């Protein structure tokens, strides 16, 4: 287990997830390894200056509360080209923030999907349908490109 120390959320991050272990609150999976942080997910996102949000209709109340922003926020991005979206409301334990990298989606069941980063040999199973993840990815790409 590697402590992240002052590891920053940058373009090498594939996804962030909550992690509850003694002194650890977040798990950061990057292109070069897995790291653990005592900071919660939203604090890491805040430190990455991902301050901009794109409006959307889903999960508005929880996102407003957690991000302390009163707009409809689902996709976050920064001036540095960093972008991410949550698989669920950020207040749910199973929420995973997926960052803008090339990946494939593989349905495990109607409500569970495997995200595969072939280039890096990394995969992650999340509690979200391939349909929802595809919609979120499409929105993310529309914003970036």
Give the residue ranges of DSSP H helices in the chain. Answer: 41-47, 60-67, 130-144
H or E element that contains 68: none
Give the residue ranges of DSSP H helices in 1-112. Answer: 41-47, 60-67
Task: Report d(CA 21, CA 107) in Å as an integer.
Answer: 29
Q: Which of 94, 133, 83, 99 is nearest to 113 (CA)?
A: 133
- Cβ contacts of residue 51 below 8 Å, gap of 6+? 76, 78
Eight-class DSSP state of 38: S
Mean model confidence pLDDT for the chain: 77
Where do the structural domains in the chain lie, given as residue ranges?
A: 13-144
Mean pLDDT of successive 10-residue stretches along the chain, which has 145 residues: 62 89 86 89 75 48 50 57 81 85 94 95 94 85 64
What pTM, to 2 d.p., does this model score? 0.76
Instruction: State both tokens at 58.
Output: 């889903």
């Amino acid at each position: 287990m590697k402590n992240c120390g002052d590891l920053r959320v940058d373009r090498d991050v594939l996804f962030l997830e909550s992690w509850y272990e003694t002194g650890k609150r977040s798990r950061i999976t990057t292109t070069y390894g897995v790291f653990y942080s005592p900071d919660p997910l939203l604090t890491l996102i805040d430190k990455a200056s991902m301050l901009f949000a794109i409006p959307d209709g889903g999960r508005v109340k929880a996102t407003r509360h957690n991000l302390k922003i009163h707009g409809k926020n689902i996709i976050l991005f920064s001036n540095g080209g960093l972008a991410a979206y949550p698989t669920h409301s950020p207040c749910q334990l199973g929420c995973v923030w997926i960052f803008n990298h090339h990946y494939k989606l593989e349905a495990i069941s109607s409500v569970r999907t495997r995200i595969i980063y072939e280039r890096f040999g990394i995969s992650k199973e999340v509690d979200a349908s391939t349909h929802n993840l595809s919609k979120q990815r499409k929105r993310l790409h529309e914003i970036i490109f």
